C-alpha cells in the first residue's frame, strides 16, 4: 500500500523558500502571484495493512517537526 504525507510550515511561520519562489516568479514576468508556500511531500511504500496510526506515529517521530510544521496523511 502507498501513503502520501504532506508536510507544510504552519501558518504564521516565515517561509523564506516560498518567498524566494514568489519573487523569482515575479522576475520571470508571472503577474498575480500573491503568495507561495513550499513544503515537502513524502511517498511511502508500506506493507499491506499498515494503519493510519502507524503513519501518524512516523510523522510525529520523524517526518514532521510539529513545533513549526503541520502534516496531512493520505492512504491509498
Q: How far apart are CA 14 and CA 54, in angstroms?
A: 30
Contacting residue, 11, 34, 53, 67, with a second copy by CB under 8 A:
34
Q: In the complex, what is the shortest distance from the CB of residue 36 to a second copy, in angstroms, rounded to a whole number?
A: 6
Cα–Cα separations (whole angstroms), residue 8 to 20, 29, 31, 36, 37: 16, 26, 24, 12, 8
Interface with a second copy (CB under 8 A), residue from 41, 66, 68, 74: 41
Handedness of CA 48, 54, 59, 62 (dihedral sign): negative
Site membership for a second copy, residue 14 (CB under 8 A): no
Q: Give me the residues that bind a second copy (CB under 8 A), please.
A: 6, 8, 18, 21, 24-25, 28, 30-47, 50, 54, 57-58, 61-63
Amino acid at each position: 500500500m502507498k501513503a502520501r504525507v504532506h508536510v507544510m510550515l504552519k501558518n504564521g511561520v516565515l517561509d523564506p523558500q516560498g518567498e524566494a519562489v514568489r519573487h523569482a516568479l515575479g522576475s520571470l514576468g508571472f503577474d498575480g502571484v500573491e503568495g507561495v508556500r513550499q513544503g515537502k511531500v513524502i511517498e511511502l511504500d508500506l506493507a499491506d495493512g499498515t494503519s493510519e496510526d502507524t503513519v501518524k506515529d512516523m510523522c510525529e517521530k520523524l517526518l514532521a517537526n510539529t513545533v513549526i510544521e503541520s502534516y496531512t496523511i493520505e492512504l491509498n
